[in-house]
Structure 1
Amino acid sequence: MRKIYGVSSKCNFGSWEHVVYVFDNSDDAQEWLNREEHDFRERELMSKTSAIKLAGKAAVENSVNYKEEMAYCNN
């Protein structure tokens, strides 16, 4: 099964910061994409290759597993 990558991007004083999330299915990816954040981030879903081009290889290698993060936050 092909993974889906979500990139959350924010521009801070002219410099972009990216956080990469990895999803096992499109339902979780769409849930993340539609969650409201209050700090004006841009969110995109993409392939691993596109995520590397946008956020860099290190960010993708250290991507956050969405299901694990949600389980941690809800405990």
Structure 2
Amino acid sequence: MKITVVVDNNGHVLGTYSQPAQVPEGYPTFQIHGGPDDTVYELDLPAEYENIASADELHRRLGEYLQQEPPKRDQ
């Protein structure tokens, strides 16, 4: 599962975005960007993250994931 994650300078997840596998022709595509003090990560997560139903739970789990395995900063 590929996902974009925006994290503030305290390590709190501010937002996430996952591009759909296929975008129908003519439909818009989206991106998210962080503020000047935020960090943006492009992560390839294990499939188990696809089954998380709530944003609160996803943000909590992503925060734990980032503490265990800090990825390279993309932006």
Q: How high is the TM-score relative to the length of structure 1?
A: 0.38
Which is richer in helix? 1
Which is richer in strand? 1
Q: How high is the TM-score relative to the length of structure 2?
A: 0.38
